[in-house]
Structure 1
C-alpha cells in the first residue's frame, strides 16, 4: 500500500509543476535552470549558500552602535566643553616669517623719491615704489587733488550702480579710452581685483584660457575664479605658446556637435615678476592664426613704455582696437588707485553688469579719480616726454653699473624696463651652502639691509608662496624713478652691486 504522505507530496508537486508549466515561457526557463545545474554543480552549492546567508541575515537580531554610548550628566558635559580647545587657525610664525614682518620699512614722510623711514629717521633714496614718473610729487596733480577734496569730499560710499558714479568717473573713463585709442573704458576701485574680475566676466566653465606662466598673482587668481580650462605656456616662449594652441586644436577639432567655447590668450605687457616685455607682435599673429581673443595686462607698462607712454601697443605698432581687452592699474605710473579695462563698447558695458569688482565695490574716491585724469592729461600734452626720457636714462645708467658684476648678479629684465629684478647667480650659491629658497631669501635680505645703511631703499619681491602657481626665484625688485639724478642712480647701483658681492663672499 502506498504511503499516503508521499502520495500527498507527489500530488502537490505535480499540481505546482502543472501550474508553472501553464505560465507562458516557463518551459524555456525550466530547461535553462536544469541545464545550468547539470553542467555546473558548483553553482548549485554557491547559490544555496547565498540563499542560506540571506535568510540568516534577514532573521538575525538588529543592533545599533549608539546603544553602547555612555550617558553623561550635565556636569560632565559642561566640564568637557570647558576643557575643549579648538585647532589654531594658522600655525605659529616661523623665524623666516617673523623676519619677513620685521623687515618691512615704515615711511614717516610724504612718499616720493627721497622719503624718511622710521627705522633710521633719515631720508633714503627710494628705489622700491612704483612712482616711476614721480607724479606723487607733481604740483599740478596735488593742486587738483586738494580742490577736488573740497568739492566732492572724501569717498563715494557706494558702488557705481548704486549712486556711486560721479561725473569725474565718467570723465576718467573717457580720458583712458582716448589716450589708449580704444572705443570705451571702465574703471575699477581696486587695481588687484580688476584683471580677475574681467576674466571671470567673460570666461566661464568649459572655456579655454591660455596663460603665460610668468604672469602675476592677480592673473593667477583670475584663472581660478573663471573656472575655465587653463593651459600654461612657458614664459615669453612663442614656440611653446603655438605648441599649446596646436595641442588644443587637435584635442577639440571643430565639429557641429562640439559646444561653442570662448578662447583667450592672457599675458602681461611688462611682467611684474621678471621685468621683461611680452612680444605682442608675435602674440597678435598667433591670435589671428588660431582665432583667439587677447587680454593684455598693462598694469606696469601703461604710462611707461612707448614714445608717449601708451604701452605695448605703441611699442610694437599694434592697433589698440585689435587687442580685445587692455587692462591696467592706475596705482603705479598714475600715482592714483584702482584699475581699468579698455576695449569695445559692448565689452565695457557687459562689465558694468557682470564685473563683480565693479558691481559690488564702492567706486574710487573723486580725489584719486581726478589725479589719474590729470596725470593722463600731462602724458597727452607731451609734458612728460622729458620725464620718460629721464626714466630711460636712469634705467640705462643703473644697468650699466650692475652688469659689471654679471659674474655675481643675474638680471632678467629688459633693457627698457624700469622694473629690474636682481638675483644671485645660481652657480655662486651652492658653494656657500645656500640650497633652499628660504636661505636664498635670507641672503637677499642681507643685501636689502646693507643697502639701507648706505642710504638706499630697496625691497625683495614678495609673494604669497603657498598660493603661487609658478613661483619665481627669490629676487630684489628695483623700481626706477625719473626724478633721481644720475649721480644718485649710479651711487645706488654701486651700493647694491657691492652688497651683492659681499653677501656672496
Structure 2
C-alpha cells in the first residue's frame, strides 16, 4: 500500500501550478519590492511576509514605508503620552521614544535597499538597545530564485510524464487500483514537491549520529545509489564534526561531568522508566523536587513538568481555552502552538510577526465586535508568543506585548523553549532579559530539551492555574511521567545555572554563550552574509534563497567537518531558504573560527554572500547606558 500521487503531467492541476508560479513572478516584477506567491498561501504554516523590512522597536512597520511608527497607543500611554517628557527625561523624536545612540551607531547607509535598522530604545519600556535585522532580499536574487523553482517545476512535470509512461523507473509508493477512490493523503503540490525537489537534497536530513551531540559529534557515513530514494551505510564514521545545528545552548548535552554522574546514580536507584502516570504510581519524589526548583528558577508560585515539549503546548492550550474564546497567535509561532490552538476549538486570529500595531488592532476589534454573529463578549482572549523564534532568530518584544495585554485585559502565553537558559544575565529567559516581572506573564512555558540537555517541558504560573492543569491537561492526566535520569539531568543542570551547586560554572556558561553569539553574528556580517534575527539570539539564520544551494551548502559544509542545518519550504517561505546555526557555550573560539572560515569558503563557492553592507561593528559593541543622551525633537 502506498500513496497515489495523482500525476498531472500536462493536466489541469499541473497547468494551474505553472500558472500560479507565472502569476507570482509577474506580481513580483510589477510591485518591485514585494511579490505574491500562491504556494506560500497554503495552510501548512504561518509565514512572515516574503520580503520583510527590518524589524524596528519604535520605527517603521515591516509592511510599508509610509507608516511612520509601530508604537501602539498602549505604549504611548506607558511612556506618558505624545508630546510629553517621560519620567526619565526622554523626549519624543521622529522615530518614537529614543535615546541618542550616536556613540554606537554608524551613519545611515546610502543604499536604498538597506533595511537593517538600529532599533530605538523605548524609554518607557526598554532599558537597553534592542537590535533586530531582516535585510531585504535583493531583487535579482528573488527573480533568480523564482526562475530556479520554475525550471525545477517544468522538469518535474516532465519526469512525472516519463514515470507515468514507464520511460523512467518510478521509486514512489503507489496505492492499489481499488484504493484510488479514497482521498489522497497529501495535496498535489506537496507530493510534487516531495518527489521532484525534496528528494534531490534529502541526504541533508536524518543523518544518523553515533556520539554525544555536544560541541563535536560523530556521523555515520551513508550513500545512495538511486538519487536519495534509499540509503546504505558504508561502515565508516565521520569523526569530530563541529556541531553547529543542535540546540545545545549551554553545553549540557554531555556524557561526563556532574550532570551525567547524577543521572547515572539515579538510574541505579530508580531505574530508567516509571511505567505509570503521575496520578497513579508514577509520581516520584524527584518529580516533586524538580517542579519546586523550576518554580523558584522562574520566579512564579508553582510549576509542573511534562515528558514531551511538543505536547506541553499542544495538549495544554486546549485545557486553557475553548469555544467562545479567542486566540491571537503570532504568524511565526511554532507548530506545537498552532496545533494546540486548533485543537482547542477557539477562534484563531493571526497577527504580523512582532508587530504591535497588528496585535493591538486585533485586540480592539475583538473587544468592539465580540464573537462572530452573536457579538457577545469573548470569554477569554489569549495571546500566544515565543521568546526566541527558532527560524528567524528574533526575540519577542515582550514589554510592548505586556503593555497591550494589561490595557485590553487579555491573557499572555509565553513559549520560552529557545529563550530559557539562553537569554538573561542568569539564564532565566526573555523575561529576565528585559528586566520584567515574571508575574506579568500569565502562562510561562518552556522546554528542557535545549539549554538543559534533557527532555520534556514545563508550565509555570499561579498555583490556581497549575492545580487546574494537573486535573484537566491531557498531557498531565494520560501521559507517562518523566524518566528518573531525565529528571535528575534537569535538576542538576538547573542548580548549576542557579549556582546552587556551589560553583560558578552555570553563570560562566551563560556569559560564554552571550559572547559566542555576539562574536559569531559579527563575523558573519563582516564576511558578507544576510543574517536574520536579534543581535543577542543564539539562533543565527543565514539566507541561501535558491533551492539548489540548500543541498549544496549542507554537503560542502560537511566535507569541511562542519555539521549544519539547512531549512527550506514548507518550514520557511518558498523563496527564503536558509542555513540555521545554533551557537553553544561549549564552542571555543577556535571552533567558531574554523566554522566561520568554512562558511566563508563555501559562501564564495556558492556565491551566497548577498549582503550589501558587510561590516556593521557598531551593532555588536558593548553598550554603556550612562553614555546615552537625550535626543532632540
Q: What is the CA-CA distance between 1:185 and the residue it aligns to?
A: 0.3
Corresponding residue to 2:516 among 365, 369, 394: 394
Question: Structure 1 residue runs of 4+, over 6 Å off?
Answer: 468-472
Corresponding residue to 1:451 among 557, 580, 590: 557
Q: Which has the larger radius of gyration?
A: 1
Q: What is the CA-CA distance between 1:96 and the residue it aligns to?
A: 2.8
1:94 and 2:188 correspond: no
Corresponding residue to 1:370 among 484, 488, 498: 488
Q: What is the CA-CA distance between 1:460 and the residue it aligns to?
A: 1.3
1:292 and 2:410 correspond: yes
Q: What is the CA-CA distance between 1:234 and the residue it aligns to?
A: 0.7
1:337 and 2:455 correspond: yes
Q: Distance in 1 between matches of 2:572 and 2:532?
A: 20
SS in 1 for 2:349: strand
Corresponding residue to 1:479 among 579, 582, 588: 582
Query: Unpaired runs of 5+ in structure 1?
Result: 1-82, 427-439
- Within a 5 Å distance, the mapping from 1:308-457 to structure 2 comes to 308-381=426-499, 382-406=504-528, 409-424=529-544, 440-457=546-563
Q: Distance in 1 between matches of 2:264 and 2:350?
A: 46
Whether contact under 8 Å (1:401, 1:494) holds in the other structure is no
How well do the aligned residues superpose, as a CA RMSD in angstroms? 2.2
* Deviating more after overlay: 84-93 vs 300-309: 84-93
1:460 and 2:566 correspond: yes
Q: Distance in 1 between matches of 2:257 and 2:548?
A: 40
Partner of 2:337: 219
Q: What is the CA-CA distance between 1:472 and the residue it aligns to?
A: 8.7
Cα deviation digits, residues 421-479 of structure 1 (max 9, x gap): 1113x6xxxxxxxxxxxxx333122111111111111011367x3xx798893221101
Q: Distance in 1 between matches of 2:273 and 2:542?
A: 39
Q: What is the CA-CA distance between 1:162 and the residue it aligns to?
A: 2.2
TM-score normalised by length of structure 1 = 0.75
Q: Distance in 1 between matches of 2:328 and 2:574?
A: 18
SS in 2 for 1:163: coil
Cα deviation digits, residues 214-241 of structure 1 (max 9, x gap): 1111111111111111111110111211
Q: Distance in 2 between matches of 1:160 and 1:472?
A: 46
Pick closer, same or farther for the CA change 1:259–1:288 going to 2, 3 Å: closer
Q: What is the CA-CA distance between 1:249 and the residue it aligns to?
A: 2.1
Corresponding residue to 1:496 among 582, 590, 599: 599
Corresponding residue to 1:239 among 357, 360, 376: 357
Q: What is the CA-CA distance between 1:489 and the residue it aligns to?
A: 0.4
Q: Distance in 2 between matches of 1:229 and 1:346?
A: 25
Partner of 1:251: 369
Q: Distance in 1 between matches of 2:547 and 2:467?
A: 44
* Deviating more after overlay: 495-504 vs 86-95: 86-95
SS in 1 for 2:540: strand
SS in 2 for 1:164: coil
Cα deviation digits, residues 61-89 of structure 1 (max 9, x gap): xxxxxxxxxxxxxxxxxxxxxx9642475
- Within a 5 Å distance, the mapping from 1:26-41 to structure 2 comes to none
Q: Distance in 2 between matches of 1:257 and 1:85?
A: 49
Partner of 2:264: 146
Q: Distance in 2 between matches of 1:128 and 1:410?
A: 18
Query: Whose helix proportion is higher, 1 or 2?
Result: 1
SS in 2 for 1:118: strand
Whether contact under 8 Å (2:286, 2:488) holds in the other structure is yes
- Within a 5 Å distance, the mapping from 1:182-197 to structure 2 comes to 182-197=300-315
Cα deviation digits, residues 218-270 of structure 1 (max 9, x gap): 111111111111111110111211122122222129xx993551111110011
Pick closer, same or farther for the CA change 1:469–1:129 going to 2, 3 Å: closer
Whether contact under 8 Å (2:415, 2:444) holds in the other structure is yes
Pick closer, same or farther for the CA change 1:362–1:287 going to 2, 3 Å: same
Whether contact under 8 Å (1:190, 1:339) holds in the other structure is yes
